[in-house]
Amino acid sequence: MSATTITSNTKWWNGGRSPFDISYGKVMMWYFLMSDAFTFGAFIISYATLRFSMNSWVDANQVFNAFPGLHGADLPLAFVSLMTFILIFSSVTMVLAVHEGHNMNKKGVEKYMLWTILGGAAFLGCQAWEWTHLLTGEHFILSKEGVLTALNTTPSHNPWGIDHVDKAAVIGALPKASPELLTAMIHEHNHAFNAQGLGTAQLVEEATKLVNAGTVHVGSQGPPAFGSYFFGITGFHGFHVFSGVVINVIMYLKTKLGHFDQRGHYEMIEKAGLYWHFVDLVWVFVFLCFYLV
Amino acid sequence: MSSHSTVPSPEITLAPKHDNSGVKRIWQVFTLLSIVTIVELVMGYAMTKQAGWVDKSSALGMFFVGAICILSVAKAYYIVGVFMHLGGELKNFRLTIVTTLALFIWFIAAFLMDGNSWKNLKNTNAGSREAPKTENAIPAVLDKNAKP
């Protein structure tokens, strides 16, 4: 260490000087992020513990296989890869903004902060689409009690159990199903079908044909904890992304107004950058635990 | 390569140490993170039902899962070390972060073992019977052996 540059009467730890040679604010940002890492860690480890305690879990590649604009596509990992690269790229533009700040280049900081904000907003847009797709997409399932229902993926509903249940069991459950459900089931594959004035018996007959032909897909219920953990953890992460975007917008405006030039340094950009990289860091593990393995 | 030695705050006695090879290093790390992510995706895709190249519960599948976990930790190392510049801070400061995060080793190991033990206890009624052969919970209506 360059001890020679320190005047001999410097009283380390005696107040007024940072023992770690970084400002108080940056040290505290690091310690905040460390505590936040434990919060995220606790959530993810709780999810993993529950998953380890189950004989079967949800196959993520059946759940996350959609892509905006490609209706009915079966593309596992595709959309989440896009989200991952958006976040890595916005991390790079953030670190470039910090670099420009070191060089006191106001225009450079502004440019890269805008790119970072754009990346964060794009990520949030992707997440909004993904959530909407899961929350609104209904899937036919045969419950443990032998009742046919249509379920969407929510914090308490999980239609992602066994992929295809036995045809005979489905046909056996059809007469007990509500006319609305039967109509929805038929409409999914035959849009021209007119259910007006048809009795339950005729609907059952039509639905039986579709089930026998293998066109109607009926699964079973999966562990409901899947939705709670997925929406809880990605929601908590998404909330961090959102607050990171808000912080970055404030940093952009403060740069634009020349506050950091007046102060003589761009350290605030570094602190916002630490937060932003942390968001990217957490996503590495969310991506690992929910989508990859 | 300008070498500004503006001190950000009066608390700081030493000028910040910026290696201005910066931009090149940033893009190197970006390339590295991208390549690692692509490798992870290829291994992850190989194990999907849609691809069906590798069975997740086979030896190769287990290796892939382990490799993906290690690669994720490597990504975290580069994000923290280079992007968050922890590698450039004083060693004592680095240790305050890294030693604390080492608690995660216990945290992960203990809880995953607990989850696994919980599963075994449920499957065997706390050791009083053999584990059932079937892996998936089957709805009663589908179970041909179930008594009405």
pLDDT digits (tens, 9 = 90+) for B121-144: 988 888 787 776 655 544 444 554
In A53-182, beta strands by DSSP E: 139-142, 148-151
Angle (deg, nearest 10), helices A179-189 and A200-213? 40
> A51 and B84: CB-CB below 8 Å?
no
Give me the CATH number covering residue A117: 1.20.120.80
Which of A20, A37, A65 is the closest to B90 by Cβ? A20
pLDDT computed for residue A25 by the predictor: 87
Determine the residue of chain B that is closest to A25 in CA distance: B9
> How many CB atoms lie under 10 A from the CB of residue A133?
17
pLDDT computed for residue B118 by the predictor: 93
Local structure of A67: helix, strand or coil? strand
> How many CB atoms lie under 10 A from the CB of residue A55?
14
**Residue A42 and residue A111 in one domain:** yes
Count of domains for chain A: 2
**Residue A169 and residue A264 in one domain:** no
**Residue A244 and residue A267 in one domain:** yes
**Residue A209 and residue A100 in one domain:** no
Which of A2, A34, A172 is the closest to B101 by Cβ? A34
Residue A3 in domain: no
Is A290 part of the contact surface with chain B (CB cutoff 8 Å)?
no
Per-domain residue ranges for chain B?
Answer: 18-88, 92-126
**Residue A132 and residue A236 in one domain:** yes
Is A176 part of the contact surface with chain B (CB cutoff 8 Å)?
no
Count residue pairs from A and B with Cβ separation < 8 A: 201
Residue A15 in domain: no
Residue A240 in domain: yes
Chain B contact probe: residue of A9, A263, A292 with most B CBs at under 10 A: A292
State how far the Cα of A187 lies from the Cα of A206, in Å rounded to an integer: 11
pLDDT computed for residue A1 by the predictor: 43
A138 closest CA partner among A158, A112, A162, A113: A158
- Which residues of B are less than 8 Å from A99 in CB distance? 22-23, 26
In chain A, beta strands by DSSP E: 139-142, 148-151
> A56 and B48: CB-CB below 8 Å?
no
Which of B26, B92, B141 is the closest to A99 by Cβ? B26
Which of B2, B107, B123 is the closest to A103 by Cβ? B2
A188 closest CA partner among A208, A146, A217: A217
- Which residues of B are less than 8 Å from A244 in CB distance? none
Is A215 part of the contact surface with chain B (CB cutoff 8 Å)?
no
Residue A22 in domain: no
Residue A278 in domain: yes
Is A246 part of the contact surface with chain B (CB cutoff 8 Å)?
no
- Under DSSP, the state recorded for B117 is H
A287 closest CA partner among B44, B125, B97: B44
Chain A contact probe: residue of B18, B37, B83, B100 with most A CBs at under 10 A: B83
pLDDT computed for residue A284 by the predictor: 97
**Residue A167 and residue A284 in one domain:** no
**ipTM of model:** 0.87
Contacts from A289-292 at CB under 8 Å and sequence distance 24+? A289/A44, A289/A47, A289/A48, A290/A60, A290/A230, A290/A233, A290/A234, A291/A60, A291/A64, A291/A77, A291/A80, A291/B44, A292/A77, A292/B40, A292/B41, A292/B44, A292/B68
pLDDT band of residue B2 (cuts 50, 70, 90) is very low
**Residue A285 and residue A227 in one domain:** yes
**Residue A130 and residue A232 in one domain:** yes
Residue A97 in domain: yes
pLDDT computed for residue B21 by the predictor: 62
**Residue A105 and residue A233 in one domain:** yes
**Residue A262 and residue A159 in one domain:** no
- Under DSSP, the state recorded for B51 is T
**Residue A126 and residue A244 in one domain:** yes
Domain that holds residue A113: 33-50+57-66+73-136+223-292
pLDDT computed for residue A272 by the predictor: 97
Residue A11 in domain: no
pLDDT computed for residue A203 by the predictor: 87
Residue A96 in domain: yes
Determine the residue of chain A that is closest to B111 in CA distance: A49
Domain end among A213, A248, A272: A213
pLDDT in tens, chain A (293 residues): 444 455 545 555 566 677 788 888 899 999 999 999 999 999 999 999 999 999 889 999 989 999 998 887 889 999 999 999 999 999 999 999 999 999 999 999 999 999 999 999 999 999 999 999 999 999 999 988 889 999 999 999 999 988 888 888 888 888 888 888 888 888 887 777 777 777 888 888 888 888 888 888 899 999 999 999 999 999 999 999 999 999 999 999 999 999 999 999 999 999 999 999 999 999 999 999 999 98
pLDDT digits (tens, 9 = 90+) for B37-80: 999 999 999 999 889 899 988 999 999 999 999 999 999 999 99
Local structure of A141: helix, strand or coil? strand
Residues 6 or more apart whose CB falls under 8 angstroms from that of A96 comprise A108, A112, B23, B26
- Which residues of B are less than 8 Å from A53 in CB distance? 115-116, 118-119, 122
